């Protein structure tokens, strides 16, 4: 049976020994727990790692994050939060409230009600991460999108070029066929992302939707999208 997925949002009363974690409006900090996996957003970047639970004892390990540049208060918020997680040793949940604590650390979270899964078809999906094995990196360049249409066609952009094609669905597996596209050269820094996106889309991939997040996986490569407008 699949583990229950819980998503919490860090509240403003979270404390560290060197002062409060500065919660910045528009840059939330979240914690998603899915079995032994934990992660979320840390004000600016996505982060993830392992969570170990034994009774009331809790610890985090192997925490990694994307490398998008952050500045000012957002950077300070992210740094304070990520520095606190390895210090957590205990957890206490009371209804929708979760408190993670440890030496000099007390983080207060509020449970986010489950969000209905976005529809694969018709949604404009916005690319926000590239996955290579266990590594996750942020996107570069212009907004890259993906949209599946009800007539079996799709359109996508890589940040470098636009492509179209057709797709078929069998369970959670999709097979896409790309229409011929221009072999233009990409601007500096976009070539690797362009290649990554095209390889995932063109080789057949699985699709998993959780709330407003879509993950495409092909072998050890993947793409992370969020529902956009």
> Does the model's pTM come out above 0.85?
no
What is the band of 161 on the pLDDT scale with cuts at 50, 70, 90? very high
* Residues 50 and 37 sit within 8 Å (Cβ to Cβ): yes
Low-confidence winner among 66-75, 82-91, 125-134 (lowest mean pLDDT): 66-75
pLDDT at 43 over 90: no
Choose which CATH entry (1.10.20.140, 3.40.1440.10, 2.40.128.270, 3.40.50.2300) describes domain 125-227: 2.40.128.270
Mean pLDDT of the residues in the chain: 86
Q: Where are the domains of the chain?
A: 5-111, 125-227
Regarding predicted confidence, which is higher, 15 or 48?
48
- Domain 5-111 is in which class? mainly beta
Q: Is the dihedral of CA 63, 66, 70, 74 positive or negative?
A: negative
Specify whether the CB–CB gap between 120 and 127 falls below 8 A.
no
Instruction: Give yes or no for a contact between 186 and 221, defined as CB atoms under 8 angstroms apart.
Output: no
Provide the pLDDT confidence category of residue 35 given band limits of 50, 70 and 90: confident
pLDDT at 3 over 50: no
CA distance 189 to 140: 7
For residues 62 and 25, the model is more confident at 62
Q: Mark residue 192 as left, alpha or beta (left: phi above 0; alpha: psi -120 to 50; beta: remaining).
A: alpha
């Amino acid at each position: 049976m699949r583990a229950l997925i819980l998503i919490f949002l860090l509240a403003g009363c979270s404390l560290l020994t060197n002062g409060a974690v500065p919660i910045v409006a528009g840059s939330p900090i979240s914690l998603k727990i899915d079995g032994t996996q934990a992660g979320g957003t840390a004000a600016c970047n996505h982060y993830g790692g392992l969570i170990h639970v034994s009774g009331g004892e809790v610890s985090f390990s192997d925490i990694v994050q994307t490398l998008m540049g952050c500045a000012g208060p957002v950077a300070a918020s992210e740094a304070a939060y990520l520095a606190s997680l390895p210090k957590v040793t205990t957890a206490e949940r009371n209804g929708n409230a979760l408190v993670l604590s440890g030496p000099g650390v007390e983080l207060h979270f509020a449970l986010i009600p489950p969000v209905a899964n976005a529809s694969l078809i018709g949604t404009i999906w916005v690319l926000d991460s590239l996955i290579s094995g266990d590594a996750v990196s942020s996107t570069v360049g212009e907004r890259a999108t993906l949209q599946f249409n009800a007539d079996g066609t799709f359109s996508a952009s890589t940040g470098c070029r636009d492509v179209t094609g057709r797709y078929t669905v069998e369970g959670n597996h999709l097979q896409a066929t790309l229409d011929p596209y221009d072999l233009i050269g990409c601007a500096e820094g976009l070539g690797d992302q362009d290649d990554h996106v095209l390889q995932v889309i063109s080789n057949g991939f699985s699709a998993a939707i959780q709330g407003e997040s879509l993950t495409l996986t092909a072998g050890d490569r993947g793409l992370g999208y969020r529902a956009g407008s």
